[in-house]
A and B are shown apart, each in its own frame.
Chain A
Amino acid sequence: MEILIPLVILAVIVVFVISLYNRLVTMRQRVREAWSDIDVQLKRRWDLIPNLIETVKGYAAHERQTFESVTQARSAAIAAAQSGSPEQRAQAETALGAALLNLRAVAEAYPQLQAVQEFKDLSENLRDTEDKIAFARRFYNGNVRDYNTTIQSVPTNILAGMFGFTAEQYFEMTDPAQREVPKVSFS
């Protein structure tokens, strides 16, 4: 009988470790799934841009610089998606958001453009996509926080270290509309 006791203790420990390990796998999987939500919406935003520029061009052909900066920011964002780290990607997407905001500000100055149905639809689509990016980001970051907290807490941290579970990066995109600090001049 005595031999049973250590066996039972061992079995309990094994079951505990297995359940912790499975929990880590599930949480990491959730982070990845959440990431794909962001990815889908970012790609949708890229796809809207060429049409948007074409439409605005029809009414404001000489705003060439604005168009170029949006196109460049879009290419940079696509390039960052293929090779960059999440951090670089977030930077490129933030820059794209700022360029788009600028494009919309420019478009404000053309009342005829505001009346075009296609432009209205595109603007609404863009707004909707940016809302979705914000919510997808929030969901992703929430999952990253839960996962990172778990792999840094005792006793999961030992297991995480043994099986190579590493912390995931947050996807931080500063809202271009909020980031612009008003410039105050006292001269």
Chain B
Amino acid sequence: MAVPQSRLNIYDAVAANRWRTVALVAVFTGILIALGYVVGEVFAPGGGVAMVPAALGLSGVSATASYFAGDKLVLAQSQARELAAGEEPQLRNIVETLSIGLGIPPPRIYLIDDTAPNAFATGRDPKHASVAVTRGLIDKLDRTDMEGVIAHELSHVGNHDIRVMLLVTVLVGTIALLSDWMLRSFAWGGGGRRGRDRGGGGIILIIAIVLAILTPIIATLIQLAVSRQREYLADASGALLTRYPPGLASALRKIAADKEALEVANKATASLYFANPLKDAPRAMDGLFDTHPPIAERIRRLEAM
């Protein structure tokens, strides 16, 4: 078995993710400001500027909230409970051992009572990280498979991917919520009265509606682009950590063969998981809206190592 020659330096990945975090928050703030400005113009011509501080404030609040409490939110939504001391000693050993290999403190371990095999990691940095696995993962995988999955998740922790993914998840949620709210208020005709009086207002209203529809789609695409690349990288660094790519490949094969969907997962949290938990049928826009790279391709890359 050939081990990849170039060592993926964890510290470089961390530095790259720091920039990515800043860039992401900037992009989302920009989107929020644009949304706020157009909404302001619709309701009162010239009122767009007044909405900018509000948009800034909102983006600040949601970014801060997701940074500090997002992991608890995600874990609660997934109905995960923390493992008690002495519970699942083998899983705990694997997590501790691999954490030593990555040089990070062992994260807290959570269990999701669901028979669909899957796992995710979340948190804001390695010191405040959690790994959640489902009951099905523990039951269906053997030790080497499990080591592969945990190594993959711990790479997300070590690379600070978890922070980027958490921020993206919550910020995309905020934007989706706002656009939804905008469309509703247009439907109720808040700005419509004035808009119909003058031609210019109508154009702005159209722009606002288009923007309200497009921004959540753009935001989602950013989220997906961010998360798919990340999965390949975590597979590679996970395999590098265990020095045994076939373990991870075998885990992926078993998970692909399992047709059960994870009930506690939803569209917002799907991109956090080890493998797509929704198991939805392929659509026409296949590829563009996938949260995860195809499992066959992930296995192929692992086998090529």
Contacts and interface: CB of A to CB of B under 8 A. Distances in A.
B285 interface: no
Contacts, number: 29
A139 interface: yes
Contacts of A131: 93, 97
A41 B99 CA distance: 13
A41 B101 CA distance: 12
Given A142-B7, A146-B9, A135 B93 contact: no
A166 B98 CA distance: 29
A135 B9 contact: no
Given A142-B7, A146-B9, A132 B97 contact: yes
A183 B185 CA distance: 84
A66 to B, nearest CB: 27
Contacts of A145: 7
Contact of B100 (A30, A41, A143): A41
Interface residues of A, number: 16
A37 interface: yes
Given A128-B93, A132-B97, A139 B9 contact: no
Given A142-B7, A146-B9, A132 B96 contact: yes
B9 A132 contact: no
Contacts of B7: 142, 145-146
B209 interface: no
Contacts of A132: 96-97, 100
A41 B93 CA distance: 13
A139 B100 CA distance: 7
Interface in A97-142: 128, 131-132, 135-136, 138-139, 142
Judged by DSSP, the binding face of B is helix
Nearest to B104: A139
Given A142-B7, A146-B9, A128 B103 contact: no
Contacts of B103: 30, 33-34, 37, 139, 143
Contacts of B98: 135
A171 to B, nearest CB: 14
Contacts of A128: 93, 97
B101 A138 contact: yes
Given A142-B7, A146-B9, A136 B93 contact: no
A37 B100 contact: yes
Interface string A34-46: 1001000100000
Interface in A136-183: 136, 138-139, 142-143, 145-146
B14 interface: no
Contacts of B100: 37, 41, 132, 135-136, 139
Interface of B: 7, 9, 93, 96-98, 100-103
Given A136-B101, A139-B101, 14 more contacts: A41-B100, A128-B97, A131-B93, A131-B97, A132-B96, A132-B97, A132-B100, A135-B97, A135-B98, A136-B100, A138-B101, A139-B102, A143-B103, A146-B9
Which 10 pairs show the lowest CB-CB distances between chains A and B? A135-B101, A135-B100, A139-B103, A136-B100, A131-B97, A128-B93, A132-B97, A132-B100, A135-B97, A139-B101
